[in-house]
Structure 1
Amino acid sequence: MITLHTDWRMVPDAARGSIVALGNFDGVHLGHAHLLRTLHGARPDGVLSVLTFEPHPRQLFRPQDPPFRLTLSSERAAALQALGVVNIFEIGFDEAFSLMTAERFVREVLHQALGVRHLACGRDFAYGHRRGGDVASLAVQAEALGIGVTIVPALSDAEGPYSSTRIRRALQDGYPERATEELGRPWAVRGLVVHGDARGRLLGFPTANIALGLHLEPSRGVYAVTVRRPDGSVHRGVANIGRRPTVNAGTESRLEVNLFDFKGDLYGQELSVALHTLLRAERKFDGLDALKAQIVLDAAQARDYFEVRRC
């Protein structure tokens, strides 16, 4: 079971002295898995841990940017647990912390607070106020404090290094299959089911409504999806992500998902909705009857997709 530590000043003794991978880990993709495997290989006797930040530093420095996160804290933790991580040191990234110098970060956080035995990071890792520290300075200072350091080359394929940026681009271009290949699992939005306008129920396709919040908005349209409920059960379904132009629903995009052959109350439950393929782009229809007819076709196409792939 993974343990989340959100106050670096209050780390229990049992969590100190671990081996730690550094980074934002947004998405927890195959490149991140490669980093963690390399760290474990360097110190197989160590307790595998991750140091990351919440919120993502970009949210502090560029608050005007649209939402861009691939994974929020809970989804990131689940993905890291699947890779064998035991501890997450999730540092609250605020203005005060952003002013910490690179030297203080290594000395006070990594050495004194966490008692790190060995570190691993990518070659482009930068840290401290105004990104004043790089991997060269990290190696010098950490090793002077008795902390081992492994700098891990990026995992690459024919398209170049795996990266969160590359995955975001694939999702925004409407190719969740590419995101699946680079993540090692389908990309998912995890969130609470909230009350909507019940229009889906009136159309004969009741939907669970989930706000995208800080998640990246992928290409707008209709997707074949699988949905994991809190009890661990997984259901196939079809989801719409967008602004619902046929009913003039406004300017805020949201996710609406219909679970096939499911009857029950989902309000207040946290669902994880995984995108498998984009069935069609968002478009406006000439009235609700035309929209309902298309929804029937969308659901049939999603069912066919899953029957062929048995997923």
Structure 2
Amino acid sequence: MIFCQEVVPNAQLTSIDSVYESSNIAAIVADTLNTTVCNNFWIGGNDFNQTGQFVWSDGKLMIYTNWAAGQPDPSNHCVSWPALATGKWKTENCGTESCFICEKYTDASTTPKAQSSYTTPVSTTMPTSTRPPTNSPQSLLNMDLVIAIDGSKSMPMDSFNQVLDFIRAMVIPSYFDSIGQENPGVRIALVVVPGTSGLLFPACVLACFSNRAGLQRALNGLNDFYDGTDGQALNGLFSLVNSSNFLSSGYRPRPGVNNHLILYITGTSTATDGDNAAALAQSIRSDNTYGIVTIAFTAEGQPAVNQTALNNIAGANCVMIANTGAYLMLSGVDFVRKRILSASTTGTYC
């Protein structure tokens, strides 16, 4: 922490309190010059006062954690973060030379708590940052959002769980405080898209959640809907979300404003329950029933996706391909957020 204060008064090694904050700080690190030489970064976690009881540099208890397998190592007491690699934390010898990340409260009246006098890590490069901005719109979101997740064999269970973490991070910003409210309000539905032989029905329709806590509880139980069979019932998805029964369960038409979104997260670009998925998607988009944003998340060893096929579903500039969980977190949240905020101000997604 001494190194941080030598550069910026009242600065300290950064804390990381959520998946969303982790992805934002990692993005800042990636954009900072001279960080390519850094394999690891010191952050503010330590257990100086009691082994195994980790706190941040400002004295806060460490609630959110992202430890690598086998960590923390009780023989080391300072937390490092390979932000540009796995993103998983580990403890290291506090005297190890490494880069470090500093933060400074923007409110000058806030004084961080005193840090232990334990030996401070040495550093060669120091990307500094304030807390990541929320980039909130002028008002709360007012939209309908259908989150459709591939639950077939093309999305392995480990990848499926990473997608759930991604969604949790996506809805953290304050403009999602309108979940379940009326005018402005966000209606969110959850659909797990099975393989060809699986049963397709919504885990939750648009009128399901009354607040963000309800959404989080539903995400915690979404593994029960995972199918894991071959194929992808994409035609079934578009038929379902465009059906009168589904639309009558919370969908609120707003003529002339394309603020109804299907966020489709998939491990494949192939629909196996018919050949008209692209035609159905294009009809939905042209009628302004929904906009469609697609993220293809392909784990190591999974077949590559066909971006042209996904473009035919979502439209140009509405498709992102992520090959690792770290990239999904680093870029996916911002990718979706920008399109949601664009719809809330301009009426278009892409």
TM-score, with length taken from structure 2: 0.30
Which structure carries more helix by proportion? Answer: 1
- Report which structure shows greater RCO (CA 8 Å, sep ≥6): 1
Which structure carries more strand by proportion? Answer: 1
